[in-house]
Amino acid sequence: MCGIFAYLNYNVNRERRYILEVLFNGLRRLEYRGYDSAGISIDSSLPASLSRDPNSPLSLRVPPLVFRQEGRIESLVKSVYENVAATDLDLEESFCAHAGIAHTRWATHGEPAPRNSHPQTSDPGNEFLVVHNGVITNYQVLKETLVRHGFTFESETDTEVIPKLAKFVFDKANEEGDHGVTFSQVVLEVMRHLEGAYALIFKSQHYPNELIACKRGSPLLLGVKEVSEGIAASSFLDFNVLKNGKPKELFLSSDANALVDHTKKVLMIEDGEVVHLKDGVVSIFKFDNDKGKNCGALSRTASVQRALSILEMEVEQINKGSYEHYMQKEIHEQPESLKTTMRGRLIRGGSCKAKSVLLGGLKDHLKTIRRSRRIVFIGCGTSYNAALAARPILEELSGIPVTMEIASDLVDRQGPIYREDTAVFVSQSGETADTLQALQYASENGALCVGITNTVGSAIARNTHCGVHINAGAEIGVASTKAYTSQIVVMAMVSLAIAGDTISNQERRDAVIDGLYDLPNKVRDVLELDQEMKELAKLLIAEQSLLVFGRGYNYATALEGALKVKEVALMHSEGMLAGEMKHGPLALVDENLPIVVIATRDACFSKQQSVIQQLHARKGRLIVICSKGDAASVSPGGLCRIIEVPEVVDCLQPVINIVPLQLLAYHLTVLRGYNVDQPRNLAKMELLNERFISRLRLLGQVILVILLLALKVEAYVERYLMLFLMICDFCPLWVAWPDVFDELGTLSNEIELGNSCLDS
């Protein structure tokens, strides 16, 4: 997934070295999303005879420097400093104002190579430079037109048409005598010609120390940091901060991760907005496709008012802390992430109160779900596996048939989905394209659509009728670990909520709720297997293949364990249904192939014992995951390697059982020398989409204005409006499914009921 970052300092002196480091660090924060090349652009030094006068003719200005490199960010850094040394570029040169842009590229059009990396340029003089996330679908047509107008292309990218189009628009305006054409006018005109999804940042030597950002479909944020010498900048949201022209540092990024190091004051740029950074002022224009169409001259659009939000994110969340890798950190964080997932949602009152589950985002739809003809779980990869793990408990407690769909397969087949169905979309990111297509399809077919996602405001959160947030915290490692266990827990809670308060299964529900309370502690216990899994990884380091057999609740564990080993350790591994063993896979068994068998205590235990016997009879090289104390029952002749895990209620056992396999995948990867957090060819989906949040905030603002007008307090409208905008911005979570209220709502419940909840 590509990443974009930009840094503009206004009226604050910053040396070139500092600017470079801010850009490089911004790129490092985007690194986890996956990329194969990177690039930056900064200003060059002017000859001593010239001043940095923006009014000086172009011929007197010096083209910005562009550095692009295939491979890791560190190779870009190295090549930049080598170039600096070779050209005697002054790293101590100070800029009172400067605009720098940067990009990590994930190749889509054209192989990873410097010429295809961003910034892409308009011409050899770098008059317009662009960094781009997304895909321009009509780039071929635009390219042909631009070639006819004399432009030559050096890359195979779809992006290159954008800076060239900007130059074309700029030159044409000047030829027609419009010498005052502004940067935003140029970009608004460029946007009129672009089709597809994009987030863009423009830099131009015609507009020194200015930047333009715009977006349609791909996420983009502006971060604002006021800099007042000697005085700590206020953390209060000043409505004027975007307009006051005071000294400040401005940051643009496709990912909040790259901003939290600098500021928490952000503007979530909305689709169709053009954000112009100039002279310390942020102007926001709304793109209107019809404006300027066929009227020759470039349109002049009035800027709109927007307020800043406060990022609900701490730097520590996105730092590795004492861990070496994000995947390692996220595996070990699971006791905490599970607590957060359950916090405020489990109710275990005094003796007279029943144990129950409160899911605010679902409670108004439970009746409809209970009346469904079937429940269809839809997801991809790890999210699909999590749903598979939860399927048996949902079937058991709801009595409703539950079917499983891999999102892409459902869309390919156009499988039947009916009005009487409840379709549950499971996705960590909430932005996975296949899952989104399936959501659109199910919604068109009239199903009730329920979302289960880790990302507040994501496309799935916005476009489903109701849902539950996973609340597992930011997951930076590409391989999903803590989101997986939290997804299972959320779906177990959904099953309990659907089951309601039927007497017949009360005992079972109580056992599951008790199991949920105790789960974080049990996960803490199973994490103690870390060293043991490292030893096992050392034994398996040179293997070509690994099989994982599971059944019942742990069929999902077999699939997920194998997926983890495959995706990070780059070792072939297959998760298999143990019941299918004798229908083919048994042929693979010999004394060399390592096989993991999951045989913890549940209704399938004796069947798994029999599977072990059969594999053992064929000299299978077995590693058995069993419940504590069961070693002798699962290891014929004591010949299997045993991994003992704590026993929990059967439907939650997959949460425990996956942990040793996550650890195995992690250690195998490190020992084999591969990149744990950015596996080959894989990238993370978008983490943040705040459009929904902004829309509801706007609604709140409109309601307030109407109220104030109705109360005939016009004179105070402006003052109160500002106050209200600030309040809205402090509360960005207001707008997700009501389940974000669970914590608040149940907190009072817990106090009332004397609930010790999860903090024990």
Chain positions contacting ligand F6R, by CB under 6 A: 380-383, 427-429, 432, 435, 479-480, 563, 567, 685
Distance between CA atoms of 194 and 629, rounded to whole angstroms? Answer: 64
Q: Tell me the chain's radius of gyration from C-alpha atoms.
A: 28
CB of 452 to ligand F6R, least distance (A): 10
Task: Please give the full DSSP string across 567-625, using - where no structure is assigned.
Answer: HHH--EEEEEEGGGGGGTGGGG-SSSSEEEEEE-SSTTHHHHHHHHHHHHHTT-EEEEE
- Backbone phi and psi for residue 517, each to the nearest 5 degrees, phi listed first: -55, -40
CA distances from 385 to 361, 564, 654, 655, 662 (A): 23, 11, 10, 12, 14
Q: Indicate the residue type of 461.
A: A
- Angle at alpha carbon of residue 554, lines to 553 and 557, rounded to 5°: 130
Distance between CA atoms of 722 and 214, rounded to whole angstroms? Answer: 25
Partners of 197 in beta bridges:
135
CB of 562 to ligand F6R, least distance (A): 11
Centroid of chain to Cα 289: 29
The token duo for 69 is 């490199």
Taking the least distance from each CB to ligand F6R, the nearer of 204 and 480 is 480
Cβ within 8 Å of residue 179, ≥6 positions away: none
Distance between CA atoms of 425 and 461, rounded to whole angstroms? Answer: 10
Q: Is the preceding omega at residue 654 within 30 degrees of 0, hence cis?
A: no
Partners of 440 in beta bridges:
none
Taking the least distance from each CB to ligand F6R, the nearer of 100 and 679 is 679
Taking the least distance from each CB to ligand F6R, the nearer of 394 and 476 is 476
Beta strands at 248-253 and 545-550: parallel, antiparallel or unpaired: unpaired
Per the CB < 8 A criterion, the answer to whether 229 and 161 are in contact is no
CB of 487 to ligand F6R, least distance (A): 8
Of 666, 685, 672, 262, nearest to 476 by C-alpha is 685
Distance between CA atoms of 393 and 398, rounded to whole angstroms? Answer: 8
Q: Indicate the residue type of 659.
A: V
Q: Give the three-class secondary structure for 385.
A: helix
CA distances from 741 to 464, 469, 499, 738 (A): 18, 11, 22, 6
Taking the least distance from each CB to ligand F6R, the nearer of 133 and 635 is 133
CB of 538 to ligand F6R, least distance (A): 23
CB of 514 to ligand F6R, least distance (A): 29
Q: How many CA atoms lie within 13 A of 449 on its CB side?
A: 26
Q: Indicate the residue type of 614.
A: Q
Per the CB < 8 A criterion, the answer to whether 445 and 424 are in contact is no
Residues with catalytic annotation?
A: 2
Helix then strand then coil, in percent of the chain rounded to 5, is 45, 20, 35
Taking the least distance from each CB to ligand F6R, the nearer of 683 and 696 is 683
Distance between CA atoms of 407 and 6, rounded to whole angstroms? Answer: 35
CB of 650 to ligand F6R, least distance (A): 24
Q: Indicate the residue type of 705.
A: V
Cβ within 8 Å of residue 295, ≥6 positions away: none
CB of 213 to ligand F6R, least distance (A): 25
Site of tokens 């009035």: 302
Q: Give the three-class secondary structure for 492.
A: helix
Distance between CA atoms of 116 and 36, rounded to whole angstroms? Answer: 11
Per the CB < 8 A criterion, the answer to whether 536 and 655 are in contact is no
CB of 451 to ligand F6R, least distance (A): 11
Taking the least distance from each CB to ligand F6R, the nearer of 194 and 676 is 676
Task: Please give the full DSSP string across 629-650, using - where no structure is assigned.
Answer: T-HHHHSGGG-SEEEEE----G
CB of 384 to ligand F6R, least distance (A): 7
CB of 516 to ligand F6R, least distance (A): 22
CB of 383 to ligand F6R, least distance (A): 4
CB of 555 to ligand F6R, least distance (A): 17
Cβ within 8 Å of residue 101, ≥6 positions away: 4, 5, 6, 23, 40, 41, 119, 129, 131, 201, 203, 211
Taking the least distance from each CB to ligand F6R, the nearer of 435 and 486 is 435
Site of tokens 């308060």: 501
Taking the least distance from each CB to ligand F6R, the nearer of 97 and 576 is 576
Sign of CA dihedral 577, 583, 586, 588: negative
Exposure string of 645-677, with b = 16+ CB inside 10 Å and e = fewer, is bbbbbbbbbbbbbbbbbbbbbbbbbbeeeeebb
CB of 564 to ligand F6R, least distance (A): 7
The token duo for 142 is 């635009």
Q: What is the 3-state secondary structure (H, E, C) of 674-694?
A: CCCCCCCCCCCCCCCCCHHHH
Taking the least distance from each CB to ligand F6R, the nearer of 23 and 331 is 331
Taking the least distance from each CB to ligand F6R, the nearer of 422 and 432 is 432
